Amino acid sequence: MDIQKALDMISSIFSSDDIPVSAKIELWEKDKSVLIGKGAPQFTIKFKDPKAFDAILTDPGLGFGENYMKGLIEVEGDLDALLKLFYFYDLSGKLSVKQKAKIGWINIKQKFGHGLKQTKKNVQYHYDKGNEFYKLWLDKGLNYSCAFFKTEEDDLETAQLNKIHHILNKLRLKSGQKLLDIGCGWGSLVIEAAKKYGVLAVGLTLSKQQYELANERIREQGLQGRVEVRLEDYRETSQKEKGIYDRIVSVGMFEHVGRENIPIFFEETKKLLRNKGIMVLHTIGRMQPEELDSWLKKYIFPGGYIPALGEVVEAADKYGFDFVDLEDFRIHYAETLSHWIKRFENNKNKIKEMMGEEFVRMWRLYLYGSRASFSYGPMHVFQFLYSLGRRYDWPLYRKWFYKSN
């Protein structure tokens, strides 16, 4: 990219008066820069190589992400302000038809691959980074999903327990019932359910390291025979255990199902759940269908898809799940991510020793980008409450969700 052409392009793209932030954009030649927005720059973005600039023009998300990881793009100052710019200023509208077509083709190539074998591979790619890594920035219970802050003073541990008990309240558990947790992570919810309600709980994960640590926690608390965590896909479980579960819960797993498998998820959970059984589905979602950002799909969540609200509701209804309630925890996930970011930054040197500099930059961008997507972008956190077939014994008021832990 010719330096003057790049300067002219930046000036043209950011010529509007409605730019929501102020920034300085420095190019690869000395003293070649552009100021955008009004006031003192909130951040400076430095392009160290013209190839990094070209990559953004090809695919803004992938181009920025890859070159930030490699250190060919540096951001000094407020990274959140940069991400705010992405959400409040339509950069995609500045792309040519050819560039948009290329991004579309990238998404098509990444769309397929949610068979059992590929799903396991995708999940293990993200979650088998090492338990010690996740311990550095998650809560003590290793809950890797949106927390629930009842007050602004709640710490992360309290908010994650709030989330678990809020879900368990919705499930209306009784001693002796069988609970299935699809995508149980490190087992905190099934352990808490067994301890508080006396249920028999089974958790499913595709992460080997989650499986090993979850079962270690079960043994440490003497819950063998009451709680079991399996290294198993829900589609495998449904082939051998039909209609034996009184309750099903899934927290933060549905994003890995894939768009084409949304109906299959409800078809298979219907096989597992007893008639009139209750299910809570907790998932990141959006209002309209859209492919996941190509950088996230390549480096963070291969095979991932954020479902649209209508896609979930339509598929659940088709397979006989009666809609009871829906809550949105969007602002709670932004707060959760703020806690994760603080812990991540406090431990970045340890993480660098474990994973390397490029990984630190990648994960930082992922965490900050995720927070921005809930703060400024289109992301929500949907918590659906369903029964398999209509029940007529629901309390009149929602307050039963919020009874004390």
- List the chain domain ranges: 3-110, 116-402
Task: Give residue-wise pLDDT tens across range 59-104.
Answer: 888 999 999 999 999 999 999 999 998 888 766 555 554 444 444 4
pLDDT, greater one: 93 or 279: 279
- How far, CA to CA in Å, does 290 sit from each of 173, 298, 366, 379? 36, 16, 18, 11
pLDDT of residue 15: 81
Q: In whole angstroms, what is the distance from residue 26 CA to residue 73 CA?
A: 10
Residue type, 358: E
Q: Strand (E) positions, 224-372?
A: 227-231, 245-251, 273-285, 321-328
Considering the domain delimited by 116-402, tell me its CATH architecture: 3-Layer(aba) Sandwich (3.40)
Q: Is the predicted pLDDT of residue 106 greater than 50, yes or no? A: no
Strand pairing category for 200-205 and 273-285 = unpaired
Please give the DSSP secondary-structure letter assigned to residue 176. Answer: T
Nearest alpha carbon to residue 147 among 138, 156, 137, 136:
156
Question: What would the mean pLDDT of 260-276 be, rounded to a whole number?
Answer: 97
pLDDT of residue 109: 45
pLDDT of residue 107: 46
Q: In whole angstroms, what is the distance from residue 394 CA to residue 32 CA?
A: 65
Angle CA 250–252–255, to nearest 5: 105
Tokens representing 256 are 């890995």
Q: Position of tokens 């309750």? A: 247
8 Å CB contact between 258 and 303: yes
Instruction: Give the rounded distance of the alpha carbon of 72 from its chain centre.
Output: 27
Q: How many helices (H) and strands (E) does the chain have?
A: 17, 11
pLDDT of residue 122: 64
Q: In whole angstroms, what is the distance from residue 185 CA to residue 199 CA?
A: 18
335 burial (CB, 10 Å; 0-12 / 13-18 / 19+) is buried
Q: In whole angstroms, what is the distance from residue 376 CA to residue 20 CA?
A: 12
Identical fold between 3-110 and 116-402:
no
Average pLDDT, the chain: 91
**Of 16-20, 90-94, 252-256, 290-294, minimum mean pLDDT range:** 90-94
Task: For the domain covering 3-110, report its CATH number.
Answer: 3.30.1050
pLDDT of residue 388: 98
Does residue 246 sit in helix, strand or coil? strand
